Amino acid sequence: MVLLARDWMQRDVLTLGPEASAFDGLRLCRERRIRHIPIVKEDRLVGIVSDRDIRSVSPPLGDPERVNVLKKTRLEDVMTRKVITANPEDTIVHAAQEMYERKDVMRALIAIIGVHEPGHSRIAVQVHKPGDLAEIAGIIQNQKVDIFSVISSPGKVASHDRPLVFQVATRDPSGILQSLEGAGYEVRWWHHLE
């Protein structure tokens, strides 16, 4: 099993229509402790608005006109219309790359998992029992290949039954794949990084 966006995405998302007021949007953000609201019209995403977007167009706290301005302002007037989305079948790494290219906040994660490391390969291996991580690392080490990073999916599946994604410093992981399969491991996916 590869780490896909569908395994991590929120399915029960709170949305508002573009005609909703900024007052309603800000109230929803505060009540549900969320910072972003997808704006949907006829079951189609048409924008996204953040609590910061709403606050930027409203008078400061204490201003007697604040509530009136918020009630008169429509979300369609403050929302971001160009929304970058990911397909549920995209890998988590692909989604992180998309975010990285548009926001600096993902730079640390991308650097840690080495998305931009040419000459490396990623291998997803299904593990089932305690000790599998150490055994797989040993198999890779026996091939005289360095492991650059390991990613797992804690909290989504049982800790002993999950995919591990290894980034290894080789252009040709075929020896590793054969050794892993020979040891009884299910290699679910692999990808060479250019």
Give the pLDDT confidence of 126-170 residue by residue, as tens digits. 998 889 999 999 999 999 999 988 888 654 445 567 888 898 998
Query: With left for phi above 0 and alpha for psi between -120 and 50, is residue 131 left, alpha or beta?
Result: left
The confidence score (pLDDT) of residue 11 equals 85
Q: In whole numbers, what is the pLDDT of the chain averaged over residues?
A: 85
The confidence score (pLDDT) of residue 132 equals 93
Same domain, 99 and 155: no
Please give the residue range of the domain that contains residue 124.
118-192
Could you tell me what percentage of the chain is helix, strand and coil, using 3-state DSSP and rounding each to the nearest 5? 35, 25, 40
The confidence score (pLDDT) of residue 8 equals 80
Residue 9 lies in a domain: no
Same domain, 89 and 136: no
110, 97 contact by CB (below 8 A): yes
Residue 3 lies in a domain: no
Q: Would you state the torsion angle of the CA atoms of residues 88, 92, 94, 100, taken in this order, to the nearest 10 degrees?
A: 120
Same domain, 184 and 123: yes
160/149 Cα distance (integer angstroms): 19
128, 118 contact by CB (below 8 A): no
Instruction: Give percent of the chain with pLDDT exceeding 70.
Output: 85
Same domain, 123 and 188: yes
The confidence score (pLDDT) of residue 46 equals 96
Same domain, 111 and 127: no
Same domain, 124 and 188: yes
For residue 163, the cross-strand partners are: 126
For residue 67, the SS3 value is: helix
Residue 8 lies in a domain: no
Select the more confidently predicted residue: 9 or 144.
144
The confidence score (pLDDT) of residue 61 equals 83
Same domain, 126 and 60: no
Same domain, 65 and 93: no
Total tally of structural domains belonging to the chain: 3
Give the predicted TM-score (pTM) of the model: 0.54
Provide the CATH number for the domain around residue 25.
Answer: 3.10.580.10
Q: Would you list the DSSP string of 31-59?
A: HHT-SEEEEEETTEEEEEEEHHHHHHTSP
Q: Express each pLDDT in 108-132 by its tens digit.
A: 566 666 665 677 888 889 998 889 9
